Amino acid sequence: MIFDLPGRFWRGNLHTHTNLSDGALSPAETVQVYRDAGYDFVAITDHFRPEYGYPMTDTRDLRTDDFSTLIGAELHAPRTEAGQQWHIIAVGLPLDFVQPSASETGPELARRARAAGAFIGMAHPSASLLTASDAESLDAAHAVEVYNALSDRENRADSWHLTDVLLNRGHRLTTYAADDAHLQPQDPPPCQAWVNVRAESLTPDALLAALKAGHFYSSTGPELYDVRIEADRITVECSPATKILLTGGHPGAEWQYGTDLTTATFPLDLFRSTHFRITVEDATGAQAWTNPLRLPVDNSSH
| pLDDT tens, position by position, 79-130 | 999 999 999 999 999 999 999 999 999 999 999 999 999 999 999 999 999 9
Query: Which H or E element spans position 115?
Result: helix 106-115
pTM: 0.96
Banded model confidence at residue 302, pLDDT cuts 50, 70, 90: very low
Fold match between domain 2-219 and domain 224-301: no
Q: Taking 50 as the threshold, does the pLDDT of residue 301 lie above it?
A: no
In this predicted model, which residue has the larger pLDDT, 282 or 230? 282
The rounded distance, in Å, linking the Cα atoms of 135 and 299 is: 27
Average pLDDT score over residue span 40-65: 98
The rounded distance, in Å, linking the Cα atoms of 89 and 3 is: 26
224-301 is classed in which CATH architecture?
Sandwich (2.60)
Banded model confidence at residue 275, pLDDT cuts 50, 70, 90: confident
The rounded distance, in Å, linking the Cα atoms of 15 and 284 is: 24
Per-residue model confidence (pLDDT) at position 176: 98
Question: What are the sequence ranges of the domains in the chain?
Answer: 2-219, 224-301
Per-residue model confidence (pLDDT) at position 296: 66
Average pLDDT score over residue span 220-230: 95
Q: Tell me which CATH code domain 2-219 carries.
A: 3.20.20.140
Number of Cβ atoms within 10 Å of the Cβ of 298? 12
The rounded distance, in Å, linking the Cα atoms of 221 and 218 is: 9
Average pLDDT score over residue span 214-221: 98
Banded model confidence at residue 153, pLDDT cuts 50, 70, 90: very high
111 by Cβ neighbours in 10 Å (0-12 / 13-18 / 19+) ranks as middle
Average pLDDT score over residue span 194-209: 98
CB 219 within 8 A of CB 193: yes
Average pLDDT score over residue span 256-272: 89
Number of Cβ atoms within 10 Å of the Cβ of 251? 7
Pick from 153, 184, 162, 230: which is nearest to 24 by CA? 184
> Which tens digit of pLDDT belongs to each residue from 162-190?
999 999 999 999 999 999 999 999 999 99
Per-residue model confidence (pLDDT) at position 297: 57
Average pLDDT score over residue span 64-86: 96
> Which tens digit of pLDDT belongs to each residue from 23-41?
999 999 999 999 999 999 9
Banded model confidence at residue 300, pLDDT cuts 50, 70, 90: very low
How many Cα neighbours within 13 Å face the side chain of 300? 10
